[in-house]
Amino acid sequence: MKKRTKRKRFNIFDEYRKSWKYIKESKKFIYLVIVIFLLFFLLGFFIPTPEFLYDEIMKLIKELLEKTQNMSQLDLIGFIIYNNAKSSFLSIILGIFLGIFPILDAITNGYILGFVSSFSVGSGGFLNLWRILPHGIFELPAIFISLGLGVKIGMFVFQKGKIKTFKNYLINSLKVFLLIVIPLLIIAGIIEGTLITLLK
């Protein structure tokens, strides 16, 4: 009689450790998006924004403020977590196209954050930046991890055994998203939503 092979039980702690290991294995892609993000953050902060771009960014900010101004604290926290989670998920999934979309996302987010930081400093001094720091400690690493893994997924086309590599990259990235990125975004969302409500 054939012996039945025992199915390996799902262990959340093992999967969590494997997810961190996968992040370490993907660090060069994560570092790449951090460098791109910081470069465009500095451009947005120090270089005067062209008028057409300034108008577009201010329009986006105005629309966002109008959408969230009457939300309760709980609704605002949910809104922030949902939008950040959706953005992070898409950064990973759309990385399939040679990692182009995560890189564009790093450029856009870096520039807009630089612009907003410069605007905040200009209107209220450097102390205004403290509002970004508490949730940024959790939110930015989650975003960088998602963007980096998205870029890595796009590199499957340059590997031997493309299908197998793609599946491996995708499965591991989704595990990281669920076990590490989502918890970081939940913490960031709670902090950000609470701070916004308190400072209204």
Where the chain has pLDDT below 50, the residues are: 1-2
- Pick from 145, 155, 167, 195: nearest CA to 31: 145
State how far the alpha carbon of 121 is from the alpha carbons of 115, 129, 131, 134, 167, in Å.
10, 7, 11, 17, 45
Indicate the domain borders of the chain: 22-63+91-199
pLDDT at 55: 92
Residues 172/19, Cβ–Cβ less than 8 Å:
yes
Other CB atoms within 10 Å distance of the CB of residue 74: 11
pLDDT at 8: 66
